[in-house]
């Protein structure tokens, strides 16, 4: 079994989604904050936005959806978790080996990719206010370790998630199903024979393509399913 999660899974924890009525993209313009061009033109503004978001996320705690998915690794022989979320709540709930499709706000890397980012940059890098901290190798700006629009998904992430899509049951939960290539995993899973299930509080572009579309909050539906196991 494999699950692909989106921002809706963290919504009841208090992490803002992107495209809901009170989502981030209602207040902020993606082109000004979540593209490499935005960072090049105004690194301070982009850095500060992530600093603000890290502060908000740090105050949130995992909900039942995160906790259930964390347990399913042990419950099922093979369970893979692919998330579009950058908040780290799956890991805080105990999930391991999460395939973080869009990276993490808790990581930084050199904007120039001058060196392979060493594991675990010092935490104080994340605390820099106003301007991105300098790369210890080339002096250029460090940037959040996330995937912005127009950027390619790391090859290893694509490979691991394609392998994860080759499963018996594929659950897609809490995503507006608008962002590619992440949402392409649903069709990939289906074409490889998976039974596909969507859990969302609204209909999405994949609702008509999945085998079962369940309407409801992910934290409740996943909790109910877990209770029946």
At its nearest, how many Å lie between ligand BJW and the CB of residue 134?
22
At its nearest, how many Å lie between ligand BJW and the CB of residue 170?
16
Question: Looking at residue 219, what DSSP letter applies?
Answer: H
Interacting residues toward ligand BJW by CB under 6 A: 6-8, 11-12, 17-20, 23, 34, 84, 86, 102, 146-152, 174-176, 178-181, 199-202, 204, 217-219
φ, ψ of residue 124 in degrees (nearest 5): -65, -20
R_g of the chain computed on alpha carbons: 18
Residue number with CB closer to Zn ion (23 or 133): 133
- Which of these, 124, 119, 121, 92, lies nearest to 108 by C-alpha position? 121
Residue number with CB closer to ligand BJW (97 or 151): 151
Backbone torsion region of residue 103, taken as left when φ is above 0, otherwise alpha when ψ lies between -120 and 50, otherwise beta: left
Active-site residue, selected from the candidate residues 102, 170, 197, 200: 102
Residues 170, 195: contact at Cβ < 8 Å? yes
Residue number with CB closer to Zn ion (110 or 165): 110
**138: partner contacted, choices Zn ion, ligand BJW, none (Cβ within 5-8 A by kind):** Zn ion
The total number of residues shown for the chain amounts to: 229
**110: partner contacted, choices ligand BJW, Zn ion, none (Cβ within 5-8 A by kind):** Zn ion
Residue number with CB closer to ligand BJW (147 or 210): 147
Binding to Zn ion by residue 108, rule CB under 5 A? no
Binding to Zn ion by residue 138, rule CB under 5 A? yes
Q: Which residue is nearest to ligand BJW (CB)?
A: 8
**135: partner contacted, choices Zn ion, ligand BJW, none (Cβ within 5-8 A by kind):** Zn ion
In 87-206, the DSSP E strands lie at 99-100, 103-110, 142-146, 169-173, 195-200
State how far the Cα of 204 lies from the Cα of 210, in Å rounded to an integer: 11
Residues 169, 195: contact at Cβ < 8 Å? yes
At its nearest, how many Å lie between ligand BJW and the CB of residue 62?
13
CA distance to 37, 46, 148, per residue, from 50 (Å): 16, 7, 12
**137: partner contacted, choices Zn ion, ligand BJW, none (Cβ within 5-8 A by kind):** Zn ion
Choice from 57, 89, 135, 165 touching Zn ion (CB under 5 A): 135
Burial annotation 126-153 (CB, 10 A radius, 16+ → b, else e) = beeeeebbebeeeeebbbbbbbbeeeeb
> Does residue 102 carry a catalytic annotation?
yes
At its nearest, how many Å lie between ligand BJW and the CB of residue 54?
11
DSSP H helix total and E strand total for the chain: 11, 8
**43: partner contacted, choices ligand BJW, Zn ion, none (Cβ within 5-8 A by kind):** none
Catalytic annotation, residues: 102
């Amino acid at each position: 079994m494999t699950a692909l999660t989106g921002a809706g899974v963290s919504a009841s924890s208090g992490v803002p989604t992107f495209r809901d009525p009170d989502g981030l993209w209602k207040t902020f313009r993606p082109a000004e904050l979540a593209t490499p061009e935005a960072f090049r033109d105004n690194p301070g503004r982009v850095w500060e936005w992530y600093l603000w978001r890290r502060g908000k996320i740090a105050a949130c705690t995992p909900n039942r959806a995160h906790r259930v998915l964390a347990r399913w690794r042990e419950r099922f022989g093979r369970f893979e978790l692919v998330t579009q979320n950058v908040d780290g709540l799956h890991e805080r709930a105990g999930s391991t080996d999460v395939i973080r499709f869009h990276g993490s706000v808790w990581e930084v890397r050199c904007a120039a990719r001058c060196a392979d980012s060493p594991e675990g940059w010092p935490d104080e890098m994340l605390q820099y206010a106003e301007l991105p901290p300098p790369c210890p190798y080339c002096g250029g700006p460090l940037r959040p370790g996330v995937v912005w629009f127009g950027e390619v998904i790391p090859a290893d992430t694509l490979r691991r998630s394609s392998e994860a899509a080759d499963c018996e049951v594929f659950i897609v939960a809490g995503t507006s199903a608008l962002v590619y290539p992440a949402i392409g995993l649903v069709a990939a899973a289906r074409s490889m024979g998976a039974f596909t299930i969507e859990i969302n509080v609204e209909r999405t572009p994949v609702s008509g393509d999945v085998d079962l579309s369940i309407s409801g909050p992910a934290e409740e539906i996943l909790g109910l399913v877990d209770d029946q196991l």
